[in-house]
Amino acid sequence: MNSPEIKEFIRQHSHLFWYTPEDQKEVISNEFLVETILNYGDMNDVRNLIKIIGTERLSEIFSDLQGRKKLNYYPEIYNFFSILMQRYAHSNI
């Protein structure tokens, strides 16, 4: 279950989840949330997400990607955030 902060963040960025039914948006997984924000959000969205879930949690979600889940990211997005996570996973972005 998502925290109130995550639910509010999802509501504020509802347009990025246009293909998700309205009644399902607030219960999406953190993995899907991160994927959507990294792929379609801007850097302010990424910074706000980091403030809510933390750098360590974002790094965990991103580094646990395996197989086809990696392919859900645009190649340039995956490359950029792979480098960023390797460099800053243990500090604030």
Domain ranges of the chain: 28-88
Tell me the average pLDDT across 51-75. Answer: 83
Query: Which token pair is 67?
Result: 């197989």
Sign of CA dihedral 84, 89, 90, 93: positive
Residue 91 burial (CB < 10 Å; 0-12/13-18/19+)? exposed
Q: Is the pTM of this model over 0.75?
A: yes
What would the pLDDT profile of 30-42 be if each residue is shown by its tens digit?
Answer: 999 999 999 999 9
* Distance set, CA 76 to CA 39, 73, 82 (Å): 9, 8, 10
Calculate the average pLDDT of the chain.
Answer: 88
